[in-house]
């Protein structure tokens, strides 16, 4: 059979055959649906905790004089919040449970004590009397990629990793060899950065340590010039820490004075958080001079901003109640300034209540409460402080 419908349609419909004319149905446009997974329980808890802390900070301005000086921050050694606990049944697959604190502590201990070099033969070596090698032997170990030997030099004679032989240091020698020794250079940079972070407070003021810090600063700056910060995330922060610890004391005290003036100013004029942050950013820009480098330093900038605020608040308070200043070598080294700050304020809490202004007491309480614990990052804490100290009306 042939289908002649198209021929009949071309001739036209019969005159006596009515043609139905209906409205064409409008086709709904297609819309793509991409369901997105809800955030994990930990993210909800973190956001809820941040909102709760912001509400508590907002209430402090109304309760500054409720009691002589509420000791709600605990002892200095216990000034950290407890970890947020999550029901294991509600924790998404792949999310570590914070409740396993002992395993977390063990892993952190192992991470801190772990060498940055291949394991194996170095662990099996018998203990033998150590004699400092000659500088050329360290350079030869760099050329041969003898990481086991370099690990022993790092642990027993760290100063040899900074010593110049002719016009080169071990790190500069590894970088000059080229890409084949880039891994050796990265390992040496990691050793230098870790030494700064783990330096004991009582060692900082010694003349020998000052000389090591100056040599260390030169080596870290060379590593930055060679672009190793992309492979060593804490290189820039370690360089700035070394710069502050070696010759940055004058700059720190100048900024503490400026932030202190902002703390004393009226709420409409003084912006202490902005003053501190701009000072830190100007310092990092002057020393590094690269926008890309500054972008990777946000955590360090937030840490330094918070430390300037605490050092300035205590500097203003100590003019009325006495007490030693917060040491500069604690500056921008995690939570060391916070520990000293809480120790000072708790030791003089009665004198602070009697002698300091109501606004300064509120600022001290605000800093203690906002910077307490590790559930929030320094950047989040600084933003919370900015909302209260720079844009809020205060008590």
For the chain, give the longest Cα–Cα distance. 118
Neighbours of 244 (CB within 10 A): 22
**pLDDT of residue 190 exceeding 70:** yes
Q: What is the mean pLDDT of the chain?
A: 77
Q: What is the mean pLDDT of residues 272-277?
A: 93
**pLDDT of residue 310 exceeding 90:** yes
Neighbours of 14 (CB within 10 A): 9
Number of DSSP helices (H) and strands (E) in the chain, helices first: 19, 0
Q: 19: alpha, beta or left, given left = phi > 0 and alpha = psi -120 to 50? A: beta
Tokens of 224: 């930055």
CA distances in angstroms from 216 to 188, 213, 370, listed in the order given: 11, 5, 34
Q: What is the mean pLDDT of residues 130-153?
A: 87
Residue 94: band (very low, low, confident or very high) from pLDDT cuts 50, 70, 90: very low
Cα gap 231→233, rounded to integer Å: 6
pLDDT digits 0-9 by tens, 8-37: 777 766 666 555 566 777 777 777 766 777
Residue 275's pLDDT is: 93
Is residue 197 within 8 Å of 112, Cβ to Cβ?
no
The neighbouring-strand residues paired with 390 are none
The angle that helices 182-197 and 235-247 make with each other, rounded to 10 degrees, is: 50
The residue that leads in pLDDT, 340 or 374, is: 340
Tell which residue, 172, 304, 331, 315, has the closest CA to residue 247: 331
- Summarize the chain as % helix, strand, coil (round to 5): 60, 0, 35
First to last CA, the chain: 95
Q: In the 3-class helix/strand/coil scheme, how is 152-192 assigned residue by residue?
A: HHHHHCHHHHCCCECCECHHHHHHHHCHHHHHHHHHHHHHH
User: Over the range 191-223, which residues count as b (16 or more CB within 10 Å of their CB) and which as e?
Assistant: bbbebbeebeeeebeeeebeebbebbbbbbebb
Residue 20's pLDDT is: 57
Tokens of 122: 């170095």
Q: What are phi and psi of 68, to 5 degrees?
A: -55, -35
Q: What is the DSSP letter of 338?
A: H
**pLDDT of residue 89 exceeding 60:** no
**pLDDT of residue 169 exceeding 90:** no
Tokens of 351: 């004198």
């Amino acid at each position: 059979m042939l289908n002649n419908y198209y021929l009949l349609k071309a001739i036209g419909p019969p005159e006596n055959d009515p043609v139905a004319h209906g409205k064409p149905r409008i086709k709904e446009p297609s819309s793509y649906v991409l369901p997105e997974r809800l955030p994990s329980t930990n993210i909800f808890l973190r956001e809820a905790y941040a909102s709760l802390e912001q509400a508590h900070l907002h209430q402090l301005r109304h309760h500054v004089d409720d009691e002589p000086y509420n000791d709600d921050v605990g002892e200095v050694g216990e000034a950290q919040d407890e970890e947020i606990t999550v029901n294991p049944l509600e924790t998404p697959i792949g999310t570590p449970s914070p409740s396993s604190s002992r395993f977390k502590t063990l892993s952190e201990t192992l991470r801190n004590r772990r060498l940055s070099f291949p394991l194996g033969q170095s662990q099996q070596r018998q203990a033998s009397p150590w004699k400092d090698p000659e500088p050329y032997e360290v350079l030869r170990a760099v050329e041969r990629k003898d990481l086991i030997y370099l690990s022993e030099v790092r642990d027993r004679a760290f100063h040899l990793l900074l010593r110049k032989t002719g016009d080169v240091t071990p790190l500069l020698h590894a970088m000059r060899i080229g890409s084949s020794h880039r891994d050796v250079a990265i390992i040496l940079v990691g050793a230098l950065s870790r030494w700064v972070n783990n330096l004991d407070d009582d060692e900082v003021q010694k003349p020998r340590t000052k000389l090591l810090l100056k040599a260390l600063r030169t080596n870290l700056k060379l590593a930055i010039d060679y672009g190793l910060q992309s492979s060593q995330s804490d290189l820039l922060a370690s360089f700035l820490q070394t710069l502050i610890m070696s010759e940055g004391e004058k700059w720190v005290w100048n900024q503490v004075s400026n932030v202190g003036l902002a703390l004393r100013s009226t709420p409409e004029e003084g912006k202490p958080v902005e003053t501190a942050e701009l000072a830190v950013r100007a310092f990092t820009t002057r020393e590094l001079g690269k926008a890309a480098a500054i972008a990777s330093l946000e955590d360090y900038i937030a840490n330094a901003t918070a430390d300037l605020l605490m050092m300035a608040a205590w500097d203003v308070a100590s003019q009325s109640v006495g007490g030693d200043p917060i040491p500069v070598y604690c500056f921008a080294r995690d939570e060391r300034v916070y520990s000293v700050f809480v120790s000072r304020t708790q030791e003089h809490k009665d004198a602070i209540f009697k002698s300091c202004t109501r606004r300064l007491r509120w600022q001290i309480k605000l800093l203690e409460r906002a910077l307490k614990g590790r559930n929030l990052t320094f950047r989040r804490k600084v933003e919370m402080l900015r909302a209260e100290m720079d844009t809020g009306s205060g008590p």
